[in-house]
């Protein structure tokens, strides 16, 4: 009996470690509010007095519209997170629509606070993520067609490439009200001010010429 209790408490502890994401909400609702007057502070953003919450606080309209993919990447992410739906505050979830022109790319990036689950609703995508150094940077990839679903684990670098001659559309659920986006190339070669070339030449094992060229480039943000 004691052994069983011990096993269960270990399992509970392990699962609390494994499934950690945004903190669980400690109340039914916590609608984000900009004006702190008559607000209650919980975490992340101020909460509106729950008695003043309205259906509109939990509503967004516009994801039927394709994002504008006329840019160097040929892709556009339309995020619906706590900034668009204040009612998502403290709930640990959000959504995105991603549009891809033919051969458009959502370039390698990570979400520091969220796992992503993506469903293709139009077109065909080549997608993948890379595990951390501990798991020897193993690449997991898949070709997805309409109706296919793929998961990008929290924090790992991932990408999607439209491999078809037609537009592609995907929707993604993310396990944070504010997943964050770090686009790898933009962070490393497009930072402001630029990272010292001694750092980048050694990190990427290339000449200064290569680093100069990459840093001179304009790094489009498709978010």
Ligand X SMILES: *[C@@H]1O[C@H](CO)[C@@H](O)[C@H](O)[C@H]1NC(C)=O
Residues 6+ apart with CB under 8 A from 78: 62, 63, 65, 67, 96, 97, 98, 99
- Residue among 70 and 134 whose Cβ is closer to ligand X: 70
- Of the candidates 53, 55, 45, 46, the one whose C-alpha atom is nearest the C-alpha of residue 29 is 53
152/223 Cα distance (integer angstroms): 17
At closest approach, how far in Å is the CB of 220 from ligand X? 10
In terms of CB distance, is 38 or 68 closer to ligand X?
68
106 annotated as a binding-site residue: yes
70 lies in the binding site for ligand X (CB under 6 A): yes
Q: How far apart are CB 76 and ligand X at their closest, in Å? A: 9
Cβ nearer to ligand X, comparing 176 with 222: 222
109 annotated as belonging to a binding site for a ligand: yes
Number of residues lying near ligand X (CB under 6 A)? 2
To the nearest whole angstrom, how small is the minimum distance from the Cβ of residue 206 to ligand X?
31
Name every residue whose Cβ is closer than 8 Å to that of residue 88 and which is 6 or more positions away in sequence.
32, 81, 82, 94, 177
In the complex, minimum distance from the CB of residue 83 to ligand X, in angstroms, rounded to a whole number: 21
Among 68, 166, 198, 217, binds ligand X (CB under 6 A): 68
Nearest to 93 by CA among 176, 32, 24: 176
| 71 labelled ligand-binding | no
Q: How far is CA 153 from CA 4, 106, 114, 136, 201, in A?
A: 31, 16, 8, 16, 30
- Give me the residues that bind ligand X (CB under 6 A), please: 68, 70
Binding site, annotated residues: 106, 109, 111, 116, 158
């Amino acid at each position: 009996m004691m052994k069983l209790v011990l096993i269960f408490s270990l399992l509970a502890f392990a699962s609390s470690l494994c499934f950690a994401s945004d903190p669980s909400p400690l109340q039914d609702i916590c609608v984000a509010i900009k004006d702190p007057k008559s607000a209650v502070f919980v975490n992340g953003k101020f909460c509106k007095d729950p008695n003043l919450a309205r259906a509109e606080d939990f509503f967004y309209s516009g994801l039927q519209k394709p994002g504008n993919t006329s840019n160097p990447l040929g892709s556009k992410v339309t995020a619906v997170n706590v900034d668009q739906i204040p009612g998502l505050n403290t709930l640990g979830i959000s959504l995105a629509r991603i549009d891809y022109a033919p051969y458009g790319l959502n370039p390698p990036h990570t979400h520091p606070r969220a796992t992503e689950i993506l469903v293709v609703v139009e077109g065909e995508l080549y997608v993948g993520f890379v595990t951390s150094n501990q798991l020897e940077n193993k690449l997991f990839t898949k070709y997805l067609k309409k109706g296919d679903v793929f998961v990008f684990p929290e924090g790992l670098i991932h990408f999607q490439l439209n491999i078809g001659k037609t537009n592609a559309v995907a929707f993604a659920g993310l396990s944070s009200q504010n997943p964050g986006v770090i686009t790898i190339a933009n962070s490393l070669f497009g930072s402001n001010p630029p990272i010292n070339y001694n750092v980048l030449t050694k990190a990427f094992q290339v000449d200064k010429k290569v680093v100069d060229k990459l840093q001179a480039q304009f790094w489009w943000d498709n978010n």
